[in-house]
Amino acid sequence: MEPDTHKTRMAIVGAGLAATPHALALNDLRDEIEVVGVLGRSRERLERFANQHGFPPGESFDAVLDDPGVDVILVLTPPHTHLDLVLQAAAAGKHVLLEKPLDISTQRAERLVQACYDADVRLGVVFQNRFRPAVQRLAALVHGGALGPLAYVGLDLRWWRPQSYYDEVGRGTYARDGGGVLMTQAIHSLDLLMWLAGDVSTVTGATATTLLHTMEAEDFASAALRFENGAAGYVLATTAAFPGFPERIEAVGKKGTAVLEGSTLRVIFQDGSTDEFHDPSSSGFGAKPMDFSHAAHRDLLKDFCAAIREDRAPSITGDDALRVQRLIERITLQRGDRS
């Protein structure tokens, strides 16, 4: 049977926690994307995942690389594996959609992004929150000037993860994850802050591991920021806030204030007018990390495949992810030398 040339043909590498919303989204997109195979370390988990979502198990990563019919490799494995997988995919001429973060250090992340440039393949990164309707509405307000010049932006991310979450081998370690709450949870919202306000010029950060968790990396982080456009900023991020609360992003401008709390956006203008918008999205802020809609993943996947067809950059690029990773490194005062 000849492959459908109208569809993007995609292989999935990784069948763990992060794979479920992608699988649900890909099943919604069956008319546009064909999943040609799923690969994973655990054969039992792989077969369970493939059967549950109706995807064929893949033969091997080498077979995927050698298959000229595979357009995209979706990489959903732990961060410390990303560099090697992407180097191989880029060398084989495959476009890559990569789960965040890019890798465990800025140094490795830079090598990964450069490899895709050198091979002239598209690299997209899974910062799906940019596609949430309330987030896009907030971005339109800021970028369109409705709030006026920004005075400050802030992030409060007070989530909860039980100790059992960190008891998984490697989770919350520098060797596997590259860090704790900033690299694994807050990275999404930090991307949104930089999407709204731009690059950061100065950072004063502090991190800690609280008594509520036994783990190597931080479960608490705070920072004061100054953006290159002159706006101030702040960050508070933790996974030690039982029972978990929706994250809050605040953008204060000369003309008004916008507050995104979970899936609700409230805007108060200085002329007395107000606006409120609610969407059904959530973000897994409590003990169930994957308790959120897969709609944003679906829109991200659509955008990435459209970028390939239209020969353009995807909405979220490797450079975007590098900016966030460099900010995290500055907050945590780590030098990014884990090679």
Bridge partners, 258 (sequence order) = 251, 267
Mean pLDDT for 196-216 is 97
Predicted confidence at residue 41, as pLDDT, reads: 86
- Domains in the chain and their CATH numbers? 8-129+298-318 (3.40.50.720), 133-286 (3.30.360.10)
User: Could you report the per-residue pLDDT of 135-177, keeping only the tens digit for each?
Assistant: 999 999 999 999 999 999 999 999 999 999 999 999 999 999 9
Amino acid identity at 288: K
Integer CA distances (angstroms), 207 to 18, 95, 180, 204, 321, in order: 26, 36, 10, 11, 21
3-state class (DSSP) for residue 330: helix
Query: Among 28-32, 44-48, 89-93, 157-161, where is mean pLDDT lowest?
Result: 44-48
User: Could you tell me the two tokens for 294?
Assistant: 């897969």
Q: What is the mean pLDDT of the chain?
A: 94
User: pLDDT at residue 226 above 90?
Assistant: yes
Cα–Cα distance measured from residue 8 to residue 12, given in angstroms and rounded to the nearest whole number: 13
Cα–Cα distance measured from residue 49 to residue 71, given in angstroms and rounded to the nearest whole number: 22
Task: State what percent of residues in the chain have pLDDT above 70.
Answer: 94
Mean pLDDT for 111-137 is 97
3-state secondary structure 232-248: EEEEEEECECCCCCCCE
281 vs 305, which has greater pLDDT? 305
Predicted confidence at residue 283, as pLDDT, reads: 57
Predicted confidence at residue 335, as pLDDT, reads: 38
Place of tokens 């370690």: 173
Lay out the sheet containing 274-278: strands in order across. 200-208, 220-227, 232-238, 150-158, 248-253, 256-261, 264-269, 274-278
Task: State what percent of residues in the chain have pLDDT above 90.
Answer: 88
Cα–Cα distance measured from residue 30 to residue 226, given in angstroms and rounded to the nearest whole number: 44
User: Could you report the per-residue pLDDT of 235-270, keeping only the tens digit for each?
Assistant: 999 999 999 999 999 999 999 999 999 999 999 999
Q: Are 157 and 247 in contact (CB under 8 A)?
A: yes
pTM, full prediction: 0.93
41 vs 304, which has greater pLDDT? 304
User: Could you report the per-residue pLDDT of 177-194, keeping only the tens digit for each?
Assistant: 999 999 999 999 999 999
